[in-house]
Amino acid sequence: MQLKIYQENAIDDLLAKSKRLLGYSGSKKLVFKSPTGSGKTIMMAEFLKRLVNDKEVRQSLGFIWTAPRQLYIQSRDKLESYFENTRVLKCSFFEDLDDRKIRENEILFFNWESINRADNIYIRDNELDFNLSKVLERTKEEGREIILIIDEAHHHATSEISQGLIQMIGPKLTIEVTATPATITDEDEKVFVQLEDVKREGMIKKGVILNDNFENFIKEGKIKTQKLSGGSEELVIDAAMKKRQELIKEFQKERVNVNPLVLIQLPDRKTSLEDRIKERVESILKNKYKISIEKGNNKLAIWLSGEHINKEGVEKQDSEVEVLLFKQAIALGWDCPRAQILVLFREWHSPIFSIQTVGRIMRMPEPDKGHYENEILNYGYVYTNLDNIEIQEDIAKDYITIYTSKRSFDPKLNLLSCYPKRHREKTRLSPLFIEIFLKQAKEYNLKEQIDIKAKKIDLKIISDYKAEDVDTLAGVRIVGDKEIKASGFDMQKLFDFFIRNNLTPFYPEDRSVGRVKEAIYKFFEKELKMWYGDVWEEIIQIVLNDKNSQHFVNVLDKTKERYKEEVEKRKSEMVDVPNWNIPKILFYSDEYKKVETKKSIMQPFFSDEKWKSESAFIDFLEKSEKVEWWFKNGDRDATFFAVPYNNGEKKPFYVDFIVKLKDGKIGLFDPHSVHLSDFTSKSGGLQRYIKEENKKGKNLFGGIVKNIDEKNYKGRWMYFDNQWKELDL
């Protein structure tokens, strides 16, 4: 492959700065920023090849390449193909490692997020000691330095948990590769590729145009009713397909065999509304454009979770697939240079799409040739019925677990435990909501506040917006400037969006959305004698009109407030766990630290070290000759042990420690002294539990614990079982 000038310059820069950093002591970081579509993976591949061939580099090097989601597989395939002739570096997945270590000039590829999954081999202990920490240990024992490459680093490299993982890996050099780095403050070196250089050499398109030529559809600020008879989805699909035909003609003039692809991004499924949108899109494509997945047609490809149809070979320049339906999940790292048109639909939760998604239509189909003479072919096109857009880079989520602790043996405790039953009313609306809404509407005097003659809905759409630098659009808000007439289908969706946006803190599932709709329809029926079956369009228009919508929001806010109060008044139901036992496995985040213990039943033991009293009590248990083992309890759901207590309502008291003595007794202790909130009620609940269970044949004792030296915890330990007693362990 003939490298571009900017790629050669970047590779030279990467090599020089990496060699310099490898010569220093300690761990160093280099940030490599290069725009979407510039060929970051190819530049990194050539850089690694030159690095291991450089005679000035005397260290033995092994490499780890991490990436989010499935991108690591694609990256591994690209690099393996790149090194196919020279075999200068070996590309491996975790299961490919020989002798359970990273050999010299070997790259281990894995998914950064999956390292936190409970069942993942990277972390899981096993009989062969084949996990990441052991692999690293064996690799470093041979004197080999690790270079860690974090692809799409802005997705995860800055999170606290990721920083903990980096520390565990202990690389000599970390290279963060990204198009849009987070605020850079701690890098030791950086290599930046400029967007203008990438454009100048024709690797990516000159820019993205939003809703090009919408003036052709919109006359005098309005669209004829028949044009939107199927809803505004049909409008943007029409515009996209018209642009596709225009591009086909221009590629033919250039004598280029490229079949331009339309990408239609469907909203992530939250409720059945999104399913209806998918069905509607497929119907429009089939009936109006003869594009379907039917045998003999094959012009439509679908790439959704659990539904992959006609996607094989869709990246080929002359593939017969004309339209691909997809969701956000495939956007990251997917390369299809013939993709040139992107269609986005209005979503209830957020008018945002990511740079990574737009990046799918930024690549030029023939980068060796560069830009075409016809400027139409040098741009990507986005069509959307969003009325305002914020283009924002994907934000990485912190990952939940990185440490695993396992039960040493089964103690067969079989204790009676409990946990609070989850009341679905706290997140899902019950019929009580309708009753409260009607009452609040009366108190607010909603009937008199609204104007039932106000029925006009302002629905705007973006027209003819051009952006030339997709990576600098983060945070930019683009607002609709052309009014269109809403169809019945649009209005029904807008009504759904309005309700969902005003449902917080309740989850906007179908049932809850329907409950709010029913409340509003009941209001119109009772107060205004307007029946939904006859005048549903009028009702929606009245609710959504700018003069009225805020009044409905105000009543909804009051209703949610009162509803929540009513739900909170209900006493918690406790669910019994008859034969609770110590959990087999527990997972911890990077907030926890490994603490060396001999008597913890969970090994290794991890602590967040938030409470000095707990750490001191653990030391006391470790030193005791009477203690056989102990368990540090958690404080959530049925996983951990709890006894019921009453503080106006029934609640679970998650006692901090379960201690097994050598004489067979089981101690239940909570070392928070009298400073514990609800001391009296919690202590009473614990003592009642011990008394009742001992009647059934258990051998329990314990209570809330304190140290007489509350500052340094050097004194005697006391426990309270209706009076303070010395804890003689």
DSSP per-residue letters across 597-611: -SSBSEESEEE----
What's the CATH code, domain 207-391? Answer: 3.40.50
Contacts of 615-622 with CB under 8 Å at 24 or more apart are 616/671, 616/707, 616/713, 617/657, 617/669, 617/671, 617/705, 617/707, 617/713, 617/717, 620/717, 620/729, 621/657, 621/659, 621/729, 622/597, 622/598
pLDDT digits (tens, 9 = 90+) for 261-296: 999 988 777 777 778 888 999 999 999 999 998 888
User: CB of 624 within 8 A of CB of 660?
Assistant: no
What's the CATH code, domain 403-420+574-726? Answer: 3.40.1350
State in words which class domain 5-200 has.
alpha beta
**Where do runs of H (alpha helix) occur along 508-639?**
510-528, 532-544, 549-569, 612-623
* Confidence label for 11 from pLDDT (cuts 50, 70 and 90): very high
Angle between helices 510-528 and 549-569 (to 10 degrees): 120
Instruction: State the Cα–Cα distance between residues 173 and 176, nearest whole angstrom.
Output: 10
Q: Could you count the other beta carbons within 10 Å of the beta carbon of residue 424?
A: 12
- How are beta strands 352-353 and 388-391 bridged, if at all? parallel
Name the residue type at position 4: K
Instruction: State the Cα–Cα distance between residues 401 and 423, nearest whole angstrom.
Output: 27
Name the residue type at position 581: N
Residue 527's pLDDT is what? 93
pLDDT digits (tens, 9 = 90+) for 479-524: 666 666 666 667 788 888 889 888 887 777 777 888 899 999 999 9
**What is the three-class DSSP state of 681?**
helix
Half-sphere exposure of residue 108: CA atoms within 13 angstroms, side-chain side: 25
Is 94 buried (19+), middle (13-18) or exposed (0-12) by CB count in 10 A?
Answer: middle
pLDDT at residue 571 greater than cutoff 50: yes
pLDDT at residue 383 greater than cutoff 50: yes
User: Which of 338-352, 571-585, 631-645 is modeled with the greatest confidence?
Assistant: 631-645
Q: What is the mean pLDDT of residues 439-445?
A: 95
* Confidence label for 379 from pLDDT (cuts 50, 70 and 90): confident
Q: What is the mean pLDDT of residues 526-554?
A: 90
- How are beta strands 643-646 and 627-632 bridged, if at all? unpaired
* Nearest Cα residue to 257 out of 317, 197, 316: 317
Please indicate whether the domains covering 5-200 and 207-391 agree at the CATH topology level: yes
pLDDT at residue 188 greater than cutoff 70: yes
Backbone angles phi, psi at 109, to 5 degrees: -105, 130
Written in H, E and C, the secondary structure of 296-341 is CCCCEEEEECCEEECCCCCCCCCCCCCEEEECHHHCCCCCCCCEEE
Q: What is the mean pLDDT of residues 195-222?
A: 71
Mean pLDDT of all residues belonging to the chain: 83
pLDDT digits (tens, 9 = 90+) for 143-165: 999 999 998 876 665 556 567 77
Residue 678's pLDDT is what? 80
Which range has the worst mean pLDDT, 3-7, 398-402, 558-562?
398-402
* Confidence label for 86 from pLDDT (cuts 50, 70 and 90): confident
18/382: higher pLDDT: 18
pLDDT digits (tens, 9 = 90+) for 288-334: 999 998 888 889 999 887 788 888 889 999 999 999 998 765 556 67
Q: Domain map of the chain by residue range?
A: 5-200, 207-391, 403-420+574-726, 425-454+486-569
User: CB of 146 within 8 A of CB of 166?
Assistant: no
